[in-house]
Amino acid sequence: MKKIISNWQASFVAAIVIFLAAYPLLGPSSYLKHLFILFFIWSVVAAYWNLLNGYVGINSLGNIGFLAIGGYTSGILALRFGLSPLITIPIGGVVTGLLVTLFLGFPALRLSGIYIALLTLIFADSLPSILTQTRDITGGGMGLHEIPPFFPGMEKVHTYYICFVFFLIAMLILYKVIHSKTGLAFVAMRDSENLANTLGINRYQERLKVFAISSFMTGIAGGFYVHSLGDISPTTLSIEPFLLALAMIELGGIGTFFGPILGAGVIVFGNEFLRLAGTLRLTLLGALICGVILFYPGGIMQLVEELGTRIKVLFNRKKVTE
């Protein structure tokens, strides 16, 4: 069986994790810590979006909606009822999971391809109008503000570590899912649904499962999002975050484990550094995405794999000449 993590990749991943764990000790500015927090949350969103799109081949365009439902649920409960985020975040995840499985999972059993994309897009697109018409509860177009943090009186560095741990756990769960029986069924259905059914895979059950997993985890990410940043508004559901999140998956490498994480890194940090370019920011970002897709259709992961094989060849040559 081809291992997803070869040795050099494993050491690289370990180095990155150690770096991320030690990073706040280097005394970075609050702004940089903020960027890392965004990176952790968007990585989770992109990775679980990729589970639907890349691993199962269900073209979902609604995952930002999952994030918003989780975020709003947790935010409202914490703000209006004074509940601890430790309780409201899991509730947000469960609510998201239930709503999405009910409104998207079940109809999606009867749809395929582009029609699922349309359904999920409409789902996410209907949320802003629901939000503006429920001003009393959701804050309408202004959104929710001063949402309490995870603990009273916490600092940025605490938020950093909470989100870091969440990121690690979410990725561990994703890794376990992909390498489980369910993960095998997901990839089999993506490659050939016909053969998968013929070999005993229950299409309905597996499709509901993936919607439930993806929406639950994205809803949880929504909870971490609002309690880290302190606010959420319908702009979260606007076109820019949506396109940026899709770009993370495409840029990093759709259907790969590390792709969306790398993509989230490039987009979150790239987007901020490109603010120096002013109005050209989105143009440059778009050009970068076009360039990667043109030359590396498999995303950054394809580049990484190619570099990996070249390094291996180089090492082998050295051994031979010695």
Binding residues for other proteins (CB under 8 A): 1-2, 181, 184-185, 187-188, 190-192, 194-203, 255
One-character DSSP codes across 59-97 = ----HHHHHHHHHHHHHHHHHHH---HHHHHHHHHHHHH
Query: Nearer Cβ to other proteins, position 193 or 272?
Result: 193
Query: Nearer Cβ to other proteins, position 153 or 200?
Result: 200
Query: Nearer Cβ to other proteins, position 87 or 195?
Result: 195
CB of 92 to other proteins, least distance (A): 33
For residue 168, the SS3 value is: helix
Report the C-alpha gap between 54 and 49 in whole angstroms.
8
Query: Nearer Cβ to other proteins, position 179 or 317?
Result: 179
CB of 177 to other proteins, least distance (A): 15
Report the C-alpha gap between 71 and 76 in whole angstroms.
8
CB of 237 to other proteins, least distance (A): 33
Report the C-alpha gap between 302 and 310 in whole angstroms.
12
CB of 5 to other proteins, least distance (A): 16
Query: Nearer Cβ to other proteins, position 145 or 179?
Result: 179
User: Are 171 and 261 spatial neighbours (Cβ–Cβ below 8 Å)?
Assistant: yes
For residue 232, the SS3 value is: strand
CB of 51 to other proteins, least distance (A): 15
Report the C-alpha gap between 133 and 110 in whole angstroms.
31
Q: For residue 278, give the DSSP letter.
A: G
CB of 46 to other proteins, least distance (A): 20
The residue length of the chain stands at 322
- The alpha-carbon radius of gyration of the chain (Å, integer) is 20
Query: Nearer Cβ to other proteins, position 83 or 201?
Result: 201
